[in-house]
Amino acid sequence: MAILLALLGLVVVMAVVVKPVLTGNPPDLSLPSLPGITPDDAPVPPGHQATPAQATPRLTVVKTPTPTPTWSGSSQSLGYVAVGTPMTTPTFTRFPDDTPVPEKLLTYASIQAGGGGTTQTISMPFPYWELHYTVDPWKTTFEGKTESKAAGIAGFTASEVFPSFSIEVRDAADHSLVRRIEPRGGLDATLWEKEKESDPRPWVEKFYEGTYTRSYYFVVHTHMVYSYKMEVKVPERYLGKY
């Protein structure tokens, strides 16, 4: 037992003292690390000074922004990042065989007179109706007349005709004005006689009621007209439905 202990002591001396001397290092007399103790908490042996750890500095690269070029005034050409499939050109186009037939209208009520006034109330249960009207005005002329010179200096008289016509469509429930109608382009019988294609008669006004039934009356104003005629028309397909 004594011989084994002596040999163990000799090995320790060789490892701790003799070997460091031969290699040029001081003998390591520090105690081995014990469980639960970190290297930072371990005692510093005499002759050894702890060197604080230094963090390695991190280099940050700052990129210089590239300046945005200003527009030189030249036009640039844009390309496509995705190209669509072009549509094929049809080689044959066929038109419908049947042309839509204009809707036939029936006269629901009519008024014909020479002077103005207020009409009776008319119920309108249809979702759509039209008011067609025509006017026969006096001719728009300028008339001049020279008087006799027997009594002295001759005098001169003149007159000009300005016919007019208007219709007020009023709600019979509260007498409010629904629409005021006047002939577009005015009344000029002289022009219509010279140019038949310029005659706008009859004029047409369209009314859209939806599903709401209303009642109306008309207030007609005339000035220098011989006669006029008004017709309330509704589509023929409304027969038997309203």
What is the residue whose two structure tokens read 């001397």?
21
Q: What is the pLDDT of residue 201?
A: 95
| Amino acid letter, 95 | F
List Cα–Cα distances, 51 to 40, 54, 222, in angstroms: 11, 9, 118
Question: Which residue type does 13 have?
Answer: V
Specify the pTM: 0.54
What string of pLDDT tens digits covers the 242 residues of the chain? 778 777 777 777 676 666 666 666 666 555 555 455 455 555 555 555 555 556 666 777 777 777 766 656 566 655 655 555 665 655 555 555 555 678 899 999 999 999 999 999 999 999 999 999 999 999 866 566 666 655 556 565 656 778 999 999 999 999 999 999 999 989 999 899 999 898 999 999 999 987 778 999 999 999 999 999 999 999 999 998 88
DSSP 177: E
Tokens at 22, concatenated: 């031969």
Give pLDDT, residue 95.
55
The pLDDT of residue 117: 93
Among residues 29, 54, 169, the alpha carbon closest in space to that of 111 is found at 169
> CB count, 10 Å around CB of 202?
14
Q: Residue 5's pLDDT is what?
A: 79
**Number of other CB atoms surrounding residue 139 within 10 Å:** 14
Residue type, 237: R
Strands 164-171 and 203-208: unpaired
Q: Distance (Å, rounded) from C-alpha 19 to C-alpha 12?
A: 10
What is the rounded CA–CA span in Å between residue 78 and residue 87? 22
First to last CA, the chain: 132
Give residue 14's pLDDT.
73
Q: Residue 152 region, left (φ>0) first, then alpha (ψ -120 to 50), else beta?
A: left
- Identity (one letter) of the amino acid at 201? R
Which among 225, 236, 237 is positioned nearest to 201, based on CA atoms?
A: 225
CA distance 189 to 200: 11
What confidence score (pLDDT) does residue 86 get? 60
